Amino acid sequence: MREAALEADYQLGAEPVLLTVTIGNGQFGTSLVRLNSAEKCRGDIGDLELGKPGSLKGKKVRVKSVVTDVRDETNRLTVTYKLAGGAQDQTFVSTGVVENDGDSMLFRAIFNLKG
C-alpha cells in the first residue's frame, strides 16, 4: 500500500480547535484521529472538537486515513484537512495516485499544536 505523509504546525488561538477531514474525488476513505496517543475519533471526521487551546498546547494531532479507489473514472486520491478555531483557519491537502482500480493508499498527517 502506497503512503503519503504531511506534517505542519498549527497556531492555537482562543477558540476550541475543530478538525475536518474530507476524502475527495468521490473515493471512499476512513480516518483515525489521535491526540498524542489517545484516539479521538474514527470514520468520517467532520468538525471534530479536539479540545480547548489550553489543553492542546504542545500536543500532536495525528490523522491517518486509508483511502480506497472505488471509482472507475479516476485513480486519483485526495485528503483535505481543515483546522479551525486557531489563530486562523487553515487547509492542508495531501494527494496521491494508485496504480490499479481498487487499490488503497495510507495518508498520514501530523499537526503540531503551538501555543
Partner 1 sequence: MQFRIRARSCGLLVVTLIAATSIAAPVRAVQDEKPIDLEPFRVPSSPAFTLLGVAPTNIDRPIAPRDFFTSIVSSLDAGTRDVPTDLALEFSPYWWFDHKELTYKERYERDPWETAIQTFSISIATTEIAARASAPNERGTRLGLGTRLLLMDGTPCKQVSEGFGAFEKQVEGLRDAQVDVLLSSDLADLRAEKEAVVTLIASMSDPLANLRAQLEQVARQIAGAATVGEELWAQRARLTAQLDALERDLSSSLRDLADKEVAEAKIVTELRGNGLDPDDLAGSRARAEAEVDRAATALRELDKERYGWTVELASAGAVDFVDGDAGDGEFTRTAGWLTAGYTPSTKGSGGGRVASSLTFLGVARYIWDGIDDRNDEFLDVGARAIWRVREDINLSTEYLLRNLGGDDETERWAAVLEFQVSEGYALVASFGSDFETSFEGDSDLIASIGFSVGIGGPQAPVR
Alpha-carbon gap, residue 83 to 63, rounded angstroms: 12
**Helix H or strand E segment including 26:** none
If the CB atoms of residues 26 and 88 are measured against partner 1, the closer one turns out to be: 26
SS3 8: strand
Binding residues for partner 1, rule: CB under 8 A, are 1, 22-32, 34, 36-39, 42-43, 64-66, 68-76, 78, 80, 93, 95, 97, 101-104, 106
Interacting residues of 74 by C-beta distance below 8 A, sequence separation 6+? 25
If the CB atoms of residues 12 and 98 are measured against partner 1, the closer one turns out to be: 98
Alpha-carbon gap, residue 58 to 46, rounded angstroms: 23
If the CB atoms of residues 69 and 83 are measured against partner 1, the closer one turns out to be: 69
Q: How far is the CB of 86 from partner 1 (least distance, A)?
A: 21
Q: Which ranges in 13-83 belong to alpha helices (H)? A: 53-56
Q: How far is the CB of 75 from partner 1 (least distance, A)?
A: 7
Q: How far is the CB of 102 from partner 1 (least distance, A)?
A: 5
